[in-house]
Chain A
Amino acid sequence: MLSSSTPTIGIVGTGVVGSRVLLHLSSLGIAAKVVSHARATELFDCDVVILAHGTPHAQLVSTFVAQGVSVVSVSDELADVIAMIELHDQAVKRNVSVIIGAACVPGLSGLLVNHVTRAFESIDEVHVAVHGTGGPRCARQRHDALAGVSIGWHEGEWIQRPAGSGRELCWFPDPVGARDCYRYASPEPILLQRIEPALHRITARVSATRRDRLTARFPMLAPPHAEGGIGGLRVEVRGVRNQRRHVEIVGVAERLASVTGAVAAQSAIAVRTHSLASGVHNLGQASVPNADILDGVIATGVTLHQFVGQ
């Protein structure tokens, strides 16, 4: 356990995810300073700042990097994540570490890909699916993502497809079960390709109903719930083991805000306690202590499931 007298971790965002991050850090005896987005400049004296508010994050990440503060971002917005990747040189110059996409998808998905890869001689396909949302901002972001343009990695080329297309029935761990999932505007393929550049195919899908897809191009008519119910994550990795094709499927069924809170908190601890190289990283990359972060996430009560059978 880390001492509470060590330099603090800052949290921007007082919503569902921010409160879960604070809960996880408090349970480990780590002091954290929580402020709203409008008062983010009060965290310039922190070692690490976790951005747990609604997107976009790139501008604030740039501000903290300029102040020499390491950052963990939970943003899952495509354009926002691309903008944060472009801050790599600035982070190296300021000698600070930035972990982007420290949520569920992306985030835990990258950790699971890294974990599962050890069961293969080589991997060539990763297919990720997610069900559910965290807080209200997450729900709005997911609503918009179903109306945008989805990107995917296919045989060494980036492809664009309309979000909401490409229906696929995906099985999540109980109690979520089987859900129809569709392409959506997610940064996940970009981040997974950074983990394993040799991959041939990467897709990311989200569960949606007919109503979700029909109303995606309109403003949300009813305000989202304060927090989504039990969500799910499913990571399917294909590759070669013992000279034969092999598939591993792992997943979790948990409230996504809790998963995101645990991943973000453990990422911030990793930034503080490990000698992470300066620059922009995402979970799953070899430069990140993935095993330590995954162990920390599972220690918070997140149960990992593996699909066995055909």
Chain B
Amino acid sequence: MGSIPFSPTTFPNEETTMKFIRQVLLALSIAAAVAAVLRTKSTPVITSEQGGWREVTPQR
């Protein structure tokens, strides 16, 4: 009778959608990798605090 007017398995936008999802996943992976590198390479903060808190009673 002729050609099939619409394929049930292939949507017109499917390729574009998958491409977008792949790009998002790639961007997230790169961001996570950069964050992991910065976190491991960053210099640990060493506090210079010396001393501490002690209880006091107000004197008039």
Nearest chain B residue, comparing its CB with the CB of A250: B56
A291: CB under 8 A from chain B? yes
Decide: B51 and A308 in contact? CB cutoff 8 A: yes
Size category, B interface: 10 to 19
> What is the interface of chain A mostly: helix, strand, loop, or mixed?
strand
A306–B56 CA distance with the chains assembled, in angstroms: 6
CB of A309 within 8 Å of the partner chain? yes
Please give me the residue from chain B that is nearest to A298 by CB atom: B58
Given contacts A178-B47, A291-B60, are A251 and B55 in contact (CB under 8 A)? no
Interchain CB contact (< 8 A) of B53 among A169, A173, A295, A298: A173
| Distance, CA A169 to CA B45, complexed state (A) | 12
Contact A307 B55 (CB under 8 A): no
Nearest chain B CB to A125 CB, angstrom units: 19
Inter-chain contact A304/B49, CB cutoff 8 Å: no
Point out the residues of chain B lying under 8 angstroms from A294, CB to CB. 58
- In the complex, per-residue mask of A238-255: 1 if CB is within 8 Å of any chain B CB, else 0: 000000000000110000
Residue A120, interface by CB 8 Å: no
Q: Point out the residues of chain B lying under 8 angstroms from A298, CB to CB.
A: 57-58
Contacting pair A306 B57 (CB below 8 A): no
With both beta carbons as reference points, the residue of chain B lying nearest to A310 in the complex is identified as B50
B26 to chain A, nearest CB (A): 25
A215 within 8 A of B: no
Interface residues of A in 260-308 (CB under 8 A from B): 291, 294-295, 298, 303-308
| Contact between B53 and A306, CB atoms less than 8 A apart | yes
Chain A residue nearest to B45 in the complex (CB): A169
CB distance from A63 to the nearest CB of B (A): 36
Cβ of A89 under 8 Å from chain B: no
A171 at the interface (CB under 8 A from B): yes
Is A309 touching B49 in the complex (CB atoms < 8 A)?
A: yes
Interchain CA distance A115-B59 in the complex, whole Å: 9
Proximity string of chain B (35-60) to chain A, C-beta cutoff 8 Å, 1 when within and 0 when not: 00000000000011111111111101
Binding site for B on A (CB under 8 A): 115, 169, 171, 173-174, 178, 250-251, 291, 294-295, 298, 303-310
Given A305-B53, A308-B52, A309-B50: 18 more A-B contacts, CB < 8 Å: A115-B58, A171-B49, A173-B53, A294-B58, A298-B58, A305-B54, A305-B55, A305-B56, A306-B53, A306-B55, A306-B56, A307-B53, A308-B51, A308-B53, A309-B51, A309-B52, A310-B49, A310-B50
